[in-house]
Amino acid sequence: MMKDLVNGQVEELGKLWKNKRQLSFQVLNLAMIILSALMIWKSLMVLTKSESPVVVVLSGSMEPAFQRGDILFLNNQDDPIRVGEVVVFKIKDRDIPIVHRIMKVHEKPDGSIEVLTKGDNNRVDDRGLYAPNQQWLQREDILGRARGALRYVGMVTIILNDYPIVKYVLVGIMGLFVLTTKEN
């Protein structure tokens, strides 16, 4: 069955190559889909003022509320960060976003803040995670506040990251189908 499927696809691709007009149509179709997705993502970034408007929870430090694989919708508006808010932050020069709660807020007269965070499920605060000699987080380290949640959907991203081959296979198959599907 798989062989027939593959042969069928190869045949379709062959026919497509001969018909340049059809090929351009299908390629444009594919480009439309990709670019629309990109536009939606970028508009979300502008709306929420965050460089990362949707994050996947990677660790269990906020359990049982947020589990590995949940996705969080972030909002990075300029409202001041206050105690108890669930925020996503990155430590300077490190890539992994961390989702924890603000435990302490100290606000200076000019409005700048120094905060300390802690995961609900952790015994101690995050000082151990910060850079050496760093006692507090600044506003720039925070990517946004968690405003909403959607369960389990993030597992897809985690699988794609742990097994990168799945990424290539999926994208390949999707691209193939879009290129060879004909509107009859």
Partner 1 sequence: MNTFWTRLNAVFFFGVTVLLCLALLTATTTYFHKGLPEIETLSLNKIKSFRAQNKVDRAIINFDLTADLRPAFNWNVKQIFVFVTAEFSTPTNPLNQVILWDRIIERKDDAFIDLKKVLSKYGLIDQKNELRGNQVTLHLYWDHMPLTGRLYTHSVSKDTFKLPPDYITA
Which of 50, 70, 126, 141 is flagged as catalytic?
A: 126
Active-site residue flag, 61: yes
Amino acid, single-letter form, for residue 172? G
Q: What 3-state class would DSSP assign to 15?
A: helix
Nearer to partner 1, 86 or 141 (CB): 86
Q: Which residues bind partner 1 (CB under 8 A)?
A: 1, 4-5, 64-66, 82-86, 101, 103-109, 114, 120, 125, 146-151
Nearer to partner 1, 28 or 83 (CB): 83
CB of 168 to partner 1, least distance (A): 21
74, β-bridge pairs: 146
Number of neighbours of residue 43 by Cβ within 10 angstroms: 11
DSSP 33: H
CB of 145 to partner 1, least distance (A): 9
Active-site residue flag, 100: yes
Nearer to partner 1, 54 or 146 (CB): 146
**What's the CA gap between 78 and 53, in Å, rounded?**
15
Which burial class, exposed, middle or buried, applies to 50 when counting CB atoms under 10 A from its CB (0-12, 13-18, 19+)?
Answer: buried
CB of 101 to partner 1, least distance (A): 8
Which of 61, 78, 79, 93 is flagged as catalytic?
A: 61
**What's the CA gap between 168 and 184, in Å, rounded?**
29
Nearer to partner 1, 23 or 67 (CB): 67
Catalytic positions, written as ranges: 61, 100, 126
